[in-house]
Structure 1
């Protein structure tokens, strides 16, 4: 395949065999590199072992690798949440459930469950006391949270430990607070089932005011 024109003008990658445009590649210096396949020009087909049975929970636990979630999530969203969410009852109780985890001692408000990396299906809890909200997580993120490994600031012996990132000197932090894009926030909000509730409508109606308060 080869580049033919800028990605913003449409597909810029062509099939090496037939020459038809099949994808758009983003390779600008200010954007993450990515390739987007044109759905009307390509199709999926099975490859070796594609029809094999999905791994069981025990097999995933044995072969899986944890994926650390974004460690600054509270710093990123807490300011906006504190300003937008209405006062309510005490915070609920969320637990991690899934293969290899003990059943909760009492019914939590919500549970985070792993999504199978092959099928995308959320693990089904066997505990009859199922909480009201089930939150699926990518399996790697769930595994990292459910079975935390000891963090080594320096290698105990030998070279750098697996997954250890080093930057000398540390990269400078931006002096500006993170702000979500108002358009992205609005698009996500209107897709929620509870968007017609009063407190969510008020957030949408006051979105311009929140932008002036530099929440977005």
Structure 2
């Protein structure tokens, strides 16, 4: 577990938090809708990519400078702000004060502006940014140059993987699913080599089927996509959907030569057939073999699933493989 303190005066700026991988939905948005906190309580992530202002066009900065920023195809706009911003849930921060007047162009709340809008309450040092606006994940981002990470020498508590239902409490496709699908679809397309894909039946086809049919040629022959991971039998598929490690984001490694495409572990667990995922009683758990019949929402919304487009494009644009002519042509079709 770690603790963040002010680089200026040493005041504590967070509760003890565990480092985990940055969620794939971190750069997704849901226009004019309320968004919850991006990070789970008690966790933080480090965003390795440049974040925030100044924003520039890729053509303006040139291909070589864009590649140094991790962008290999046209992407509008390109963030050229600091790397390695520390991302936390707002409720896990301490000892700061907010200056709303430093917000950027927002709708109903606050977003990052030109100057840090969060200051250390002890010494007044600008330490980061608070975002809480419609369509934006609720986050605090600490500037890595303004805070110091202190290791507490205490191991984080065990965190069991809980399957994430694909439908949110309001009955819509969960944005965490659509963003995860956008990231995974980019990697599926790159792994396909431009060949037709045969997807597993069920939710994987719901997630990727329409996009694969639209973007890749029809088969046969097909390159088979399967599911792989802890507890699943070995598959002969050439590409496998696997869980990503919660802490590192690295994909679970299958035996053989199959290409792994990672998904967030809660999403993968649902695809792998976790079964019952409805809420349990406030006290205790459901008896064995008992299934609730009071689901708060339908199994699937009444509209089609669409991988989150901006996440798909952003992931592809940041993959060096997009420089291959066939994949670049596919990217331009998006």
| Structure 1 length-normalised TM | 0.62
2:296 pairs, out of 162, 166, 175, with: 166
Measure, in 2, the Cα distance between the counterparts of 1:83 and 1:122: 27
**Alpha-carbon separation, structure 1, partners of 2:219 and 2:242:** 25
Of 315, 318, 323 in structure 2, the residue corresponding to residue 191 of structure 1 is 318
Which residue of structure 2 aligns with residue 92 of structure 1?
A: 223
Distance of aligned partners of 1:144 and 1:32 in 2 relative to their CA distance in 1, 3 Å threshold = same
For residues 178 and 102 of structure 1, the distance between their equivalents in structure 2, rounded to whole angstroms, comes to 27
Instruction: Select the structure with the greater relative contact order (CA < 8 A; seq sep ≥ 6).
Output: 2
How far apart, in 2, do the equivalents of 1:196 and 1:142 lie? 29
Give the drift of 1:139: 2.0
Q: Which has the larger radius of gyration?
A: 1
Offset, 1:68 = 3.0
Considering fraction of residues, name the structure with more strand.
2
Using structure 2 for the length normalisation, give the TM-score. Answer: 0.43
Q: Cα–Cα, structure 1 residues 119 and 21, in superposed 2: closer, same or farther, change >3 Å?
A: same
Displacement of 1:29 in angstroms is 3.9
Task: Specify the SS of the correspondent of 1:2.
Answer: strand
Name the CA distance, whole Å, in 2 between partners of 1:27 and 1:95.
38
1:115 and 1:94, CA in 2 relative to 1: closer, same or farther beyond 3 A? same
For residues 136 and 318 of structure 2, the distance between their equivalents in structure 1, rounded to whole angstroms, comes to: 27
1:36 aligns with 2:141: yes
Q: CA RMSD, aligned part only?
A: 4.3
Partner of 2:243: 114
- Shift of the 201–151 alpha-carbon distance from structure 1 to 2, 3 Å rule, reads closer
Gaps of 5+ in 2: 1-95, 104-111, 167-173, 182-204, 282-290
* Count of paired positions: 185
